[in-house]
Amino acid sequence: MSTPATNAAQELIARSNRLGADPKNTNYAGGNTSAKGTETDPVTGEPVELVWVKGSGGDLGTLKESGLAVLRLDRMRALVDVYPGIDREDEMVAAFDYCLHGKGGAAPSIDTAMHGLVDSAHVDHLHPDSGIAIATAADGEALTQKIFGDKVVWVPWRRPGFQLGLDIAAIKEQNPKAIGCILGGHGITAWGDTSEKCEKNSLWIIRTAEKYIKANSKKEPFGPRVKKWEPLSPAKRRARAAELAPTLRGVASKDRPMVGHFTDDKVVLDFLASRNHPRLAELGTSCPDHFLRTKVKPMVVDLPADAPLEKVKARVAELHEAYRADYAGYYDRNKVKGSPAMRGADPLIILVPGVGMFSYGANKQTARVAGEFYVNAINVMRGAEGLSTYAPIDESEKFRIEYWALEEAKLQRMPKPKPLATRVALVTGAASGIGRATAEKLAAEGACVVIADLSLEKAQAAAAEIGGPDVAVGVQVDVSDAAAVQAMVDEAVLAFGGVDLVVNNAGLSLSRSLLETTERDWDLQHDVMAKGSFLVAQAAARAMIDQGMGGDIVYISSKNSIFAGPNNVAYGAAKADQAHQVRLLAAELGEHGIKVNGVNPDGVVQGSGIFSSGWGANRAAVYGVKEKDLGKFYAQRTILKREVLPENIANAVFVLCSAELSHTTGLHIPVDAGVAAAFLR
């Protein structure tokens, strides 16, 4: 059944999706929209006025009906009569729950009062770069009058909440010609009698600000370019980014592990090439949505991009120590009785002139979005500096929001992270069989996964199926080629910030007797498994050591590393080599907190690239069974009479990397359903 209220909600969702689809209008998950209408109360049968408003934590671009909070307008507006004043306005958020109508829906956001109290059928509150540029200009109030006349009214900075809603409602009432506001230090609000008019008004404010900035901005808003900070060539800056990424991730992860994201977007590089970037970066961001994602300010590396690597690493350590001390000072200056404990003093944004920006978060999406928010902040600073002087809100106000009791409560409501959250896994031979199952398992347990395979097409297809670029990426590698292996690790650290968990799974096998095995057969199997595992472990260990966060290396060896089977000399010898690498590396890497363990499977037929490429037919011939029955044959020769499947190996890898086995290294776990001849001694 369609009612006017249902239509209003659907119009609101459509408008929100259109506005949120364009990053010029608002940042990811930033801003909120609303619509008012009438619906029949199912209890009384009488009409009731409602307001639909985007709920807490949602994103306009992907908003659905479930993301709306629905409140009774009469009850919400009655809160004005019991409002205890600005010193206790946080209590009003809990009061919104008593105004809700119907079942389900999202939790009301802090901005709900703005939408309910403003006397207009439709309201948009957005965070466009152009609008925030005006909002953060030192003479923002005068600029607002000059740019918009009496159509847009300046609202001095006020923290989001009930009082801000009252302020904007009063401005709307006192300025009948106004279509919206510039909120000092924050963003814009617009309204309209229809959804179409409201959207039109929002876009008019945004586009008018954009045009004015473009037409009136000084030529070099960030000051002249500085030669030593000019961007390196694309290849050189990505190479330097890969060299620095593990060290920088360790910096961002001293208090708690973080996933990273890298961008060398032109906006970032141009900002960092300017004379004024150190001053502006020090001022920090202004819009609450920005600094809650990016911290109040970034850490800036102050050396030329092509400085010697070891010199840059040493300087990064000094800058990190200074950053932590500065953040602790910010916390101590502004904390009050009852403030939440300091959540960590590491940077979430690290800027490297000539190279780019590294951003960090509890997962890849959060890290990527933090970087996007800092790009928004750069755009804001460019606009404000081009017209005036960038003047963000005071640090005391930033602290009040960063350590707001409501923000703390929101963080406490976050779901418990999965066991491998924040960990970056690199799995070789991961497009099929054991590798694919392992990658799927690690991703399901919260890890970011790099799918490495000889076939780029298959690796990318597997990554897309596992979850896409915020969860998994596919890369090509020939593990027998040292340069290709280093390129693979570079891709991993550029994709997710670093690497924590490596699974040496790539392999192949040729089933031949001693007399039939050629030198090429021997070299090929040893190059891929023995040499390949060594190269992968070596390159990954370098990154892990630079991170200083420990790590795991797991070898998928084989029962054949112990069991002497027929017609198997090259494969068995290569697997024995891998098995001893586990012991050798466990002894060597332990001082860095890196655990090295192995898994010894029996023949895994299902989904196996090795078995489907001729090995299965050969082994079936050796044992005198049909190839289709090989898995069953292997099962019958085991103690448990169970076929070993790829997911069984994946489960063992997960256990080895989990917190439950944090004190285990140098171990081989048999996953063979019980083969007595392969028992470890």
- The catalytic residue positions are 571
Are 595 and 544 in contact, with CB atoms under 8 Å apart?
no
Handedness of CA 378, 383, 387, 389 (dihedral sign): negative
Task: Report which secondary-structure segment, H or E, holds 428.
Answer: strand 424-428
CB-based contacts of 482-491 (< 8 A; 24+ apart in sequence): 482/535, 482/539, 485/532, 485/535, 485/536, 485/539, 486/539, 488/426, 488/450, 488/452, 488/536, 488/539, 489/242, 489/426, 489/539, 489/540, 489/542, 489/543, 490/238, 490/239, 490/242, 491/450
Rounded CA gap, 577 and 572, in Å? 9
The residues that bridge with 639 in the sheet, in sequence order, are none
Are 650 and 437 in contact, with CB atoms under 8 Å apart?
yes
> 502: closest CA among 670, 657, 651?
657
Local structure of residue 92 (DSSP, 8 states)? H
| Cα–Cα distances in angstroms (integers) from residue 366 to residues 293, 397, 471, 611, in the given order | 8, 23, 12, 40
Rounded CA gap, 518 and 107, in Å? 68
Which tokens go with 156? 């001095």
Local structure of residue 527 (DSSP, 8 states)? I
Query: Reduced to 3 states, what is the DSSP secondary structure of residue 100?
Result: strand
Which tokens go with 119? 């006397």
Across the beta sheet with 551-556, what order do the strands follow?
Answer: 472-476, 448-453, 424-428, 501-504, 551-556, 594-601, 668-671
Q: Which amino acid is at 583?
A: R
Are 504 and 532 in contact, with CB atoms under 8 Å apart?
yes
Rounded CA gap, 611 and 607, in Å? 8
Q: How many CB atoms lie within 10 A of CB 389?
A: 11
Are 307 and 301 in contact, with CB atoms under 8 Å apart?
no
Are 485 and 539 in contact, with CB atoms under 8 Å apart?
yes
Q: Which DSSP string corresponds to 273-312?
A: TBTTHHHHHHH---SHHHHHHH-SS-EE--S-TTS-HHHH
The residues that bridge with 474 in the sheet, in sequence order, are 451
Are 303 and 315 in contact, with CB atoms under 8 Å apart?
yes
